[in-house]
Amino acid sequence: MDILGDSIAALSPDELSAEHKVLAEFANLTNSQVYEHIFSQRMMLPKRNVASLHSASDILGTDSCELMLPTLHEALQTELFNTKDSPEFHLLDIGASSGEIIDWCLAKELEKNIQLNRQNIIHVVEPNLILLKAYQQKICEFPHLNQGIVYNGRVQDYLVNHHHFDDFETPLPLTPLDFINGLHVINYLLPSSFYARSLADMAVLLLTGQLSNVNERRFDTKLLDNVLRQLKEAALTPVGMNEKKRFGLTRCMRGGEMVWKVDFPLIISIIRKEKVHM
């Protein structure tokens, strides 16, 4: 690729090939499947020469997990200490994804409850069924973790349905929650970045937050086409010295390879309270 600063003179054969593959990939997907493709196949994509993810630093697609983990560890350690006299520790994971956070943080921190003969109960809210099942399987891999209430849907719907329907099939937790972890709940904005090997893959990442409904309806590919068109325009348009491209689009090294980068305020939240009632 002929790179002029962060601009390109023309789309390379690799870029055009990637665009063709991505558009074909998303041509017949449902909104729910698109949600899973964004997360599992783009955001959590391993870096070059990484066979499987063993830590947040193995991820190519985003650096948000690396930035988030120190705060999550600290907050969870504090809450475990503050509630150490209770027989059970109840944690709610909202937008739980496929359970990598269990490997990277929750399992290790919650081991501290073993010597206290204290049960760890994890409640899960996740709108994508594929990711939810993966999270449930991850819980089963650790004897000191127990599955609590599980809801396949958005947390907003979970609470609204309980407000309007007394016989809603998924119950609320019977005891106050000790800790809530929400990866996609608006509480504060953590500046982070998306990384992708092609503009087409970056366009997929930028669909994050634009899917209003994670359902089984056919995905409107015009949304992806529009984002990709704007990215290509940004990549092909030179900018002046010290000026930023649209989307903050730039090129950088990550995991030993040259990739596209977009700075993106990924919405994450770590909520901690003495007592939390749903």
Q: pLDDT, tens digit, for every residue of 134-146?
A: 999 999 999 999 9
* Cα four-point dihedral sign 41, 42, 44, 45: positive
Which secondary structure element, helix H or strand E, spans residue 59, and what is its range? none
Burial class (CB in 10 A: 0-12, 13-18, 19+), 223: middle
Cβ neighbours for 212, distance < 8 A, ≥ 6 positions apart: none
Domain extents for the chain? 3-50+190-264, 64-185
Q: pLDDT, tens digit, for every residue of 62-105?
A: 888 888 889 889 999 999 999 999 999 999 998 878 888 999 99
Do 130 and 161 contact (CB within 8 A), yes or no? no
What single letter denotes the amino acid at residue 266? L
Q: Decide: helix, strand or coil at residue 31.
A: helix
Among 63-77, 97-111, 150-164, 261-275, the minimum mean pLDDT is found in 261-275
Give the pLDDT confidence score for residue 272 in this predicted structure.
Answer: 39
How many Å apart are CA 269 and CA 181, to the nearest integer?
7
Fold for the domain defined by 64-185: Rossmann fold (3.40.50)
